[in-house]
Homo-oligomer: A and B are copies of this chain.
Amino acid sequence: MVRGFLLDLDGTVYDGGQPIPGAPEAIVRLKQMGYALRFVTNTTSRDRAALVDKLNGMGVTVTVNDIFAPPYAAARYLRKEQASAMLLLTESARQEFGDVPTGGDRPDTVVVGDMGEQWTFAAFNRAFRALMDGAGLIALGMSRYWRTADGKLSLDTGPFVAALQFASGVEPIVLGKPALPFFEMARLDLGLEPDEIAMVGDDIEGDVGGAQRAGMTGILVRTGKFREADLRGEVRPDMILDSLAELPAAVATGSPPSPPTLGGAE
């Protein structure tokens, strides 16, 4: 019995700067139907307030509490552990960590997200030294790269975490899809059991595979980065929809959703 949804943002609710047709209406409808919702994204370069502004600008009405993203998850984790943190993050992402102490050159933890052009050798080396002095490592996702607005590839968080891990030998805790601790924190944020939650996204591995490994239902949408080849891999979605716009009708006909026919994939 699905009682709540985790909805991916980029490629599922919007694509670049435009909402997926019918997605804003579907979100309103799901709320009216009584489902608990969280928007779950791996975006590490913005705080939740900036994501709320972006969504509201597209006519998707949300509040900051509707959004579950790695910087917020990491800040919650650090507060719970009462740990200080050196933040390798953009200025926007740092907003989530307001009251978390920095720990100077001897932090309890190093938090690494996507910094893009703001990366410097000095900051990277300082983080490495902190790890060698015993700090833990939190990675806000392990994505290898993303595609910029002009279509070029750009290095994401994962390679920088891999570099720090190679240099220091410290194993990262990954707080981003598809890592289990991240889905587990999102589940606690929803206040539901794994089998009461369905994750909806366009990433067969990061969204569907990650959710399924966390004991949740995984629903794939044919928008964003979806390719037909995704259906020939190891991960088998519990349901496939043309887009998020179809979700209210699909759940109205039966819940949990029944497995789809996958054509020649069987």
The answer on a CB contact under 8 Å between A132 and B153 is yes
Residues facing B in A79-135 (CB within 8 A) are: 115-122, 124-125, 128-129, 132
Q: How far is the CA of A154 from the CA of B132 in the complex (A)?
A: 11
The answer on a CB contact under 8 Å between A164 and B159 is yes
- By secondary structure, the A interface counts as helix
- Minimum CB–CB distance from A212 to chain B (whole Å) comes to 24
Q: How far is the CA of A163 from the CA of B155 in the complex (A)?
A: 9
Q: How far is the CA of A166 from the CA of B165 in the complex (A)?
A: 11
Which residues from B are CB-within-8-Å of A36? none
Residues facing B in A160-214 (CB within 8 A) are: 160, 162-168
B interface footprint on A141-163 (CB within 8 Å = 1, 0 otherwise) = 00011000000111110111011
Q: How far is the CA of A155 from the CA of B167 in the complex (A)?
A: 7
Which residues from B are CB-within-8-Å of A132? 145, 153
Q: Footprint of B on A, CB under 8 Å?
A: 115-122, 124-125, 128-129, 132, 144-145, 152-156, 158-160, 162-168
The answer on a CB contact under 8 Å between A125 and B144 is no
The answer on a CB contact under 8 Å between A121 and B129 is no
Q: How far is the CA of A120 from the CA of B158 in the complex (A)?
A: 17
Q: How far is the CA of A122 from the CA of B120 in the complex (A)?
A: 10
- Minimum CB–CB distance from A21 to chain B (whole Å) comes to 31
Which residues from B are CB-within-8-Å of A119? 121, 124
Partner of A117, one of B116, B121, B129, B165: B121
Which residues from B are CB-within-8-Å of A158? 166-167
- Minimum CB–CB distance from A29 to chain B (whole Å) comes to 40
The answer on a CB contact under 8 Å between B152 and A167 is no
- Minimum CB–CB distance from A157 to chain B (whole Å) comes to 10
The answer on a CB contact under 8 Å between A145 and B167 is yes
Which residues from B are CB-within-8-Å of A124? 119, 155
19 contacts between A and B (CB under 8 A): A115-B121, A117-B121, A117-B122, A121-B155, A125-B155, A128-B145, A128-B153, A128-B155, A128-B159, A129-B152, A132-B145, A144-B166, A144-B167, A156-B167, A159-B166, A160-B163, A162-B163, A162-B165, A163-B166
